[in-house]
Amino acid sequence: MALKNIPCRPVLNRNFGLIRGRAGSLTLPLAGISALFAVTSLGTLGLIHQWRRLTETQLRLDRCVGKKAQQLSSLMQSIERANKRVHALRVSITAALVAAPETVPPLQALLRAQVVVQDLTLKNWDAQRLTWSLTQSCGSSRDRKKPLPDLPWFRPPPDPVGEQALSWPSSLDRRLHLQAENGSRKAAAAVADPNSTNSGVNTHALFSRSAQWTAIWTIPQQILSPMRAGSH
C-alpha cells in the first residue's frame, strides 16, 4: 500500500494538546504566546500613551508658568529702573531749586511722566491677574492656578520736590510665587530679588541672575480652593 495516500491523523500530545500533524501550521503554545504578546503590547501602548499625556501636560504647565514668571520679572525690573530715574530726577530738582529755578518745571514734568509710567505698569498687572483667574490661560479648563500675586508697591505722599518713588514694604519678602497644576502635574516658579537675603534665589534661574528681579523654578505649594481659603 502506498504511504502517500494515507491521511495524516491528529496526534494527541499530553503536554501541548492537539497538534495537527506534520501538515499543521500552528500549535497551542504558539497561540498562547501570541495572545500574551498581544495583551502585553496593548498594556505597553497604554502606558506609553499615559506617559506621553503626562509629559505633554507637564511641558504645557512649565511653559505657561515660566512665561508668566518672566513677564513678571520684566515688569518688576521696569519698575526698579523707573524708580532709579525718579530718584535721579528728584536729586536734580533739589539742586535746581537753588542753582537754576527755571529748570525745575521741566524736570518736574519728567518726574510726573515716570510716575505715570509706573502707575500704568501696575494697572496692567492687575488686568493680567484678572485674565489669569477668569480664563484658561494655561490651555485647559482642568488646570488649577494659584492667583497671580498682588504687587504691594506703594508710593509715599509727594513732598516739596515732587512725586516720590515706589516703595516695597520692609516687612514683606521680596519674593512672588506663581503656580499651575493639573492632576499630579505641577509647575511652580517665583520672581525674587537676588539682592534680598530671604529671596531664595538658587541656581535654577529661568534666565540670568544679573537682573534685580529674577525668575526661578521653585517647589510647588498647596493651592487652596476658594471655600477652604475663605474658611481660614
Q: Give the mean pLDDT per block of 10 residues along the chain (232 residues).
A: 49 44 51 62 67 89 95 96 96 96 96 97 96 88 92 96 95 94 94 73 44 88 57 40
**pLDDT score of 34:** 65
**pLDDT score of 226:** 46
Read off the pTM: 0.72
**pLDDT score of 223:** 74
In degrees, rounded to 5, the angle at the alpha carbon of residue 191 between the alpha carbons of residues 186 and 65 is 30
d(CA 87, CA 101): 19
**pLDDT score of 45:** 64
Handedness of CA 116, 118, 119, 123 (dihedral sign): positive
**pLDDT score of 225:** 57
Largest CA distance in the chain: 135
d(CA 131, CA 70): 17
d(CA 193, CA 76): 9
Angstrom distances, CA of residue 27 to CA of 12, 16, 50, 144? 12, 8, 35, 54
**pLDDT score of 17:** 44
Nearest to 204 by CA among 224, 184, 225, 218: 218
